[in-house]
């Protein structure tokens, strides 16, 4: 109990992402006046946060608190209104798509709904191989495309899918297998960072456990930095090193998981912790 | 277990679906062959008039002449030969006009649906303005300006009907553009145009094919209508539309002149639309 907690501010671990003063708003089309631009709803209200390299940072908060929006800014699917998003010291907040493209191979994402994120008309191997082909230098030769296919099949093996799955279409897989394909696609480029947005919320409990333990072991093997968005505090507690609690676009808590869970700073976090039942998870899941 | 059910359930329903695919395909193939080999198949010259043999009835009636299977028209021309030669015009127009219509309309629909913004505003306005014109009037006007002939018929069809493709494909593209696989392609470093062509297009393609088939049927009808009002081709070419127009005058004493081209027209239009639906389902990996 008395063991000293390592404070992230004093720890020397350099952050992969440093976010400063991040603001983002969406136009409120529901309240648009007839001849004037729509008013804007501020969704992220000046966030400061660091994502330490090689660690899993959980992002929690109630629905609509801006978790996905924050995540999508990190991988630059969204462009913030203001603020800095430093990736390895480089501000990517305002880069245009052409400048981002070389950086994207380092910023991958696993989606919540694999049925929607896997193109139903492409075979699994092609889904995993497509990003590989885009970042390869030798796209012209036929050998290269065969090599890409092998690479994709190896990524599938890495997430526990037999290479024979490569010839299937997404609808021929189970939910858990589809989500593994999503993971395979994300890790195939060997990125530094992966955003995982509610990646197990569509799965049954046992597939959830398998996918989470897979993610954890891959994170360790590949020294991945992961932003893990979830509603489920029990999952966050077992999987993550750090946790950020968002509420209405503001950060309520930010720190190591044990610290936040043991001594929540704000009432809202306390309510969150109380409101969400914390079943005793079997730690073997994650080993 | 999942594999077993996936492979057995579609087979149960495949019988009727296949029929829907193969019957139209058989009819259209027949037409294609007839068009290609018309001079070899047709028993007579479709334009040759023999006033001694006018209004011969078809083979199953009395008073027929051997060799004139479907009878002759008021000028003594062989109906069967004219129907066979008519497939040339019908298929030629439907193939070229529908493909052109499809290319124009689908491209605009894809661009508007995916890029949104100004693309969408301009293209959607264009569609609205276009659709304000009554199509038949539009066609007649066009042909009147451009002069009669196959080219003007084809151009008229493409100019009138591209909005059908543009509207449907725009809506479908907008739905697909919301899917996560589009974001996923961006995450994977794809350019926007690449995403449109290699991710979204394959998902919209079944609808494009279905519309294309429908359009081929429509093109056959439009050509017939324009022939009917004498705006398509000069009367020295056999077309189904001109046969129907001429047959109409003789309907009380030589109904076969009207009936046989009408049947050919009907079956062709029906085949194209059925083929479109059949292909759409066939192409869908989820339904397959
Ligand atoms: N494209 C958009 N246009 C307008 N408003 C948006 C858009 N995307 C998100 N919002 C709004 O921004 C707010 C935050 O959304 P966000 O998706 O980040 O929430 P979240 O924390 O991920 O919620 P959930 O847990 O339900 O996924 C919500 O109020 C939402 O309505
Ligand atoms: Mg969300």
The structural domains of chain A, ordered by start, are: 16-23+39-106+193-204+214-275 (3.40.50.300), 110-190 (no CATH)
Half-sphere exposure of A116 (CA within 13 A, CB side): 14
Q: Which residues in chain A (63-102) have CB-CB distances under 8 A to chain B?
A: 75, 77, 97, 101
Q: Share the mean pLDDT of chain B.
A: 85
Short-list B100, B80, B190, CA closest to B154: B100
Q: Which residues of B touch A (CB under 8 A)?
A: 2-3, 6, 179-181, 183-192, 198-199, 202-203, 285-286
- The lowest-confidence range among A96-100, A259-263, B66-70 is B66-70
- Judged by average pLDDT, the poorest of A26-40, A244-258, B54-68 is B54-68
ipTM > 0.90 (yes/no): no
Percent of chain B with pLDDT over 90: 41
Mean pLDDT confidence for B255-271: 90
Percent of chain A exceeding pLDDT 90 equals: 66
How far apart are alpha carbons B268 and A12 in whole angstroms? 76
Q: Is the dihedral of CA B50, B52, B57, B63 positive or negative?
A: negative
Q: Is the minimum distance from the CB of A63 to ligand 1 under 6 angstroms? A: yes
Query: Is the per-residue pLDDT at B179 higher than 60?
Result: yes
Does A276 score more than 70 pLDDT? no
pLDDT in tens, B105-161: 999 999 999 999 999 999 999 999 988 888 777 777 887 888 878 888 888 888 888
pLDDT of B20 strictly over 90: no
Nearest ligand to the CA of A43 is 1
User: Of A107, A14, A84, nearest to A53 (Cα)?
Assistant: A14
Q: How far apart are CA A31 and CA A37, in angstroms?
A: 10
Question: In this predicted model, which residue has the larger pLDDT, B2 or A164?
Answer: A164
Cβ-proximal residues to B177 (8 Å cutoff; 6+ apart), any chain:
B113, B114, B116, B200
On whether the B30-283 domain is CATH 1.20.1370.20, my answer is no
Interatomic CA distance for residues A68 and A221, integer angstroms:
26
Cβ B285–A174 below 8 Å, yes or no?
no
For chain B, say whether A113 makes contact (Cβ under 8 Å): yes
Q: Is B174 exposed, middle or buried (0-12, 13-18, 19+ CB in 10 A)?
A: middle
pLDDT at B196: 97
How many beta carbons lie within 10 A of that of residue A265, not counting itself?
A: 14
pLDDT digits (tens, 9 = 90+) for B34-63: 999 988 888 888 887 877 777 777 777 777
**DSSP label at residue A240:** -
The residues, any chain, with a CB within 8 Å of residue A156's CB and separated by 6 or more, are A124, A125, A128, A162, A163, A165, A166, A180, A181, A184
Domain boundaries, given as residue ranges, for chain B? 30-283
The model carries a pTM of 0.84
pLDDT of residue A51: 95
Q: Is A71 in the pocket of ligand 1 (CB under 6 A)?
A: no
Q: From CA B120, how far away is CA B113, in angstroms rounded?
A: 7
pLDDT band at B288 (very low <50, low <70, confident <90, very high): low
On whether any CB of chain B is under 8 Å from the CB of A123, the answer is no
Helix/strand/coil for A71 = helix
Higher pLDDT, residue B238 or B272: B272
Question: Does residue B75 have a pLDDT over 50?
Answer: yes
How many Cβ contacts (< 8 angstroms) between chains A and B?
Answer: 66
**Residue A14 CB–ligand 1 contact under 6 Å:** no
Structure tokens at B11: 């087979």
**Highest mean pLDDT: which range of A235-244, A258-267, B232-241:** A235-244
């Amino acid at each position: 109990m008395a063991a000293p907690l390592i404070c992230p501010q004093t720890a020397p671990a350099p952050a992969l992402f440093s976010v400063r003063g991040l603001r983002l708003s969406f136009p409120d089309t529901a309240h648009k006046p007839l001849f004037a631009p729509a008013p804007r709803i501020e969704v992220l209200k000046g966030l400061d946060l660091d994502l330490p390299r090689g660690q899993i940072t959980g992002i929690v908060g109630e629905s609509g608190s801006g978790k996905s929006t924050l995540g999508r800014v990190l991988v630059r699917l969204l462009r913030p209104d203001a603020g800095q998003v430093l990736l390895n010291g480089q501000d990517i907040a305002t880069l245009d798509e052409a400048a981002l493209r070389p950086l994207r191979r380092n910023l991958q994402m696993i989606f919540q709904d694999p049925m929607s994120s896997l193109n139903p008309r492409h075979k699994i191997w092609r889904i995993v191989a497509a990003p590989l082909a885009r970042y390869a230098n030798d796209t012209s030769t036929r050998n290269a495309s065969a090599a890409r296919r092998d690479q994709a099949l190896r990524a599938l093996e890495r997430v526990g899918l037999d290479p024979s799955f490569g010839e299937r279409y997404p609808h021929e897989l189970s939910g858990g297998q589809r989500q593994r394909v999503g993971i395979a696609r994300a890790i195939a480029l060997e990125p530094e960072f992966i955003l995982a947005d509610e990646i197990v919320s569509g799965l049954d409990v046992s597939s959830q456990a398998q996918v989470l333990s897979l993610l954890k072991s891959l994170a360790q093997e590949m020294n991945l930095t992961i932003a893990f968005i979830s509603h489920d505090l029990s999952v966050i507690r077992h999987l993550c090193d750090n946790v950020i609690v968002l509420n209405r676009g503001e950060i309520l808590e930010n720190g190591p998981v044990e610290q936040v869970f043991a001594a929540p700073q704000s009432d809202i976090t306390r309510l969150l912790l109380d409101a969400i039942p914390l079943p005793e998870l079997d730690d073997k899941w994650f080993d | 277990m999942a594999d077993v059910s996936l492979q057995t359930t579609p087979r149960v329903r495949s019988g009727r679906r296949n029929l829907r695919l193969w019957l139209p395909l058989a009819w259209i193939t027949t037409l294609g062959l007839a068009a290609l080999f018309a001079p070899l198949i047709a028993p007579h010259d479709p334009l040759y008039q023999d006033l001694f043999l006018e209004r011969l009835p078809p083979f199953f009636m009395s008073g027929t002449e051997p060799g004139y299977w479907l009878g002759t028209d008021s000028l003594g021309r062989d109906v069967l030969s004219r129907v066979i030669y008519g497939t040339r015009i019908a298929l030629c127009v439907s193939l070229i006009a529908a493909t052109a219509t499809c290319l124009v309309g689908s491209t605009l629909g894809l661009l508007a649906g995916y890029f949104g913004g100004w693309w969408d505003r301009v293209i959607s306005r264009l569609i609205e303005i276009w659709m304000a014109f009554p199509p038949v009037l539009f066609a007649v006007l066009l042909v009147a300006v451009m002069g009669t002939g196959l080219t003007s018929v084809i151009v008229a069809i493409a100019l009138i009907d591209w909005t059908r493709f543009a509207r449907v494909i725009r809506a479908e593209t907008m739905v697909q553009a919301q899917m996560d696989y589009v974001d996923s392609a961006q995450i994977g470093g794809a350019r926007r145009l690449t995403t449109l062509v290699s991710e979204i297009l394959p998902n919209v393609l079944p609808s494009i094919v279905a519309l294309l088939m429908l359009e081929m049927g429509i093109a056959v009808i439009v050509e017939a209508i324009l022939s009917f009002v004498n705006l398509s081709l000069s009367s020295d070419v056999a077309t189904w539309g001109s046969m129907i127009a001429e047959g109409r005058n003789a309907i009380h004493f030589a109904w076969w002149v009207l009936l046989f081209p009408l049947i050919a027209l009907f079956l062709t239009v029906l085949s194209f639309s059925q083929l479109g639906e059949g292909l759409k389902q066939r192409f869908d990996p989820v339904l397959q």
